[in-house]
Amino acid sequence: MLTEQAIQEFMTSRGGLRPKTQQEYRNHLVQFQWFFPDLPTTPQPVQSWLNGLQREKGNPGQELAPETIHSRFRTIRAFYRQIHLWHPKIRNPMPLVRPPHVCMYLSTYSLVCGLPALETGFFLLEIELSVVKIGLSGTGRFLFL
């Protein structure tokens, strides 16, 4: 299947989304199509493309933010899921593609956690940290590293 045709079908399936969300999907998928005119059905080319995004430059000397790379991964994952739903014979390689690791360094971070208490239900614990390394797992959950 041509990637362009698959993108058109995916965008049709996302017709009820906000215009800004649709535009973000379109931007990510156009870049994917530029690399892959024919839709890849094996994980290796998709993984190579994602790995290469870390070195992609928007402006000379400026790398993509880790959050942007992870956003592109999520778009491609949703794209393949939808295409596989409508075309079961087209293989979805995304379960075999390793999600990009996202880390953010913050100089000051205030963390508020809800913790279970024995009789009062929940209480809040606020922690003030000077330096925190946060990772985002493939499922979108934050990890403290």
How many other C-beta atoms lie within 10 A of the C-beta of residue 115? 8
User: Can you give the pTM of this predicted structure?
Assistant: 0.67
Each residue of 77-96: pLDDT tens digit? 999 999 999 999 999 999 99
Q: Are 97 and 50 in contact (CB under 8 A)?
A: yes
Q: Residue 136 has what pLDDT?
A: 54
- Residue 38 phi/psi, 5-degree rounding, is -100, 130
Each residue of 90-135: pLDDT tens digit? 999 999 999 887 655 444 444 444 444 444 444 444 444 444 555 5
- Per-residue 3-state assignment (H helix, E strand, C coil) for 60-78: CCCECCHHHHHHHHHHHHH
Domain ranges of the chain: 3-96, 102-144
Q: Are 84 and 90 in contact (CB under 8 A)?
A: yes
Q: Residue 65 has what pLDDT?
A: 80
